[in-house]
Amino acid sequence: MANHGYEGGRLNLPFVGICTFGKYPYVSDWDAIDADVAVMGAPFDFGTQWRSGARMGPRAIREASTLFSFGHAGAYDHEDDVTYLDPAEVTIVDIGDADIVHTDTVQSHANIEFGVRKILAAGAIPVVLGGDHSVNIPCINAFDDQGPIHVVQIDAHLDFVDERHGVRFGHGNPMRRAAEKNYVTGLSQIGIRNVSSTAKDGYVDARNMGSDIQSVRQFRAMGVDAMLDRIPAGVQYYVTVDIDAFDPSIAPGTGTPSHGGFIYYEVLELLAGLAKRGNIVGLDLVEVAPDYDHSGSTSTLAAQLLMNVIGRILHARTS
């Protein structure tokens, strides 16, 4: 029998211990981050337009992620014949949450940006757990000195509203704010469908500002490889995943569910291919609202996707 590490130490089952992401070590000193990946929560949902509750997303994702805490041996995938997340090769830490100041969007976003900057300064990949999609705005802000990035958005909604009733930093605005950055070279907006938060003029503006917009049906008609071919190769990618990109039959726990969404493997295969096509330098997953997630399937989906994508990002960097 292979020495996979379970023979020594504590068994440390998923329901035992502290709920850090994946049960990885917790680092409270943000000036002492030493890791390949650092996970940070952004429990902010003041940007929602309808159902709130995504502020509890980071806590729910962390708890669900303990199911995928792979002990001492990493995660062997027999289809790929690869052991991902081998602790001998990769280091992942959880740095806790950005401090959220109730009702203060500007300061809360600034605190999120501060945390992402600390992760980048340590040379780690930031993985941010939302929170509503407005938390992407401070995440992108933090990349202003990291060189050009191409933003890949997996989402049901375009999120390209410029301003509505004076609101410029809600969860309908992040992709517009990203497109305005001179270091964002373009956007691939994938999964956009049905009744949307953005009117037609938003689509016109998005395309004029460098967006490639594809629905779930368009994605399925062309396939994963063709979709990847539409994304610039060999560049830095920032990936933002809204959980409502998935069909609510598997991801009901979100504030703005939209039927006709992705299944798990469609998104995993896209992001796995993206990790090989260029360099994923940042990732957020947003809009998990556990109060609407009675079976826990949405939080589990979010955790499973993140663990597998992180594994593929790190493997692509070393293979």
Q: How far apart are CA 147 and CA 10, in angstroms?
A: 43
* Three-class SS state of 143: coil
Low-confidence ranges of the chain (pLDDT < 70): 1-9, 70-72
pLDDT value of residue 64: 97
pTM: 0.96
pLDDT value of residue 194: 84
Q: In whole angstroms, what separates CA 151 from the centre of its chain?
A: 12
Long-range CB contacts (within 8 A, 24+) of 202-206: 202/158, 202/160, 202/161, 202/162, 202/176, 203/158, 203/160, 205/160, 205/162, 205/176, 206/158, 206/160, 206/175, 206/176, 206/179
pLDDT value of residue 1: 42
Q: What are phi and psi of 152, to 5 degrees?
A: -110, 115
For the record, the structure tokens of 58 come out as 């980071």
Close Cβ partners of 165 (under 8 Å, ≥ 6 residues apart): none
pLDDT value of residue 140: 98
- Binning the chain into helix, strand and coil, the percentages to the nearest 5 are 35, 20, 45
Terminal Cα distance for the chain, rounded: 27
Answer whether 243's CB lies under 8 Å from 288's CB.
Answer: yes
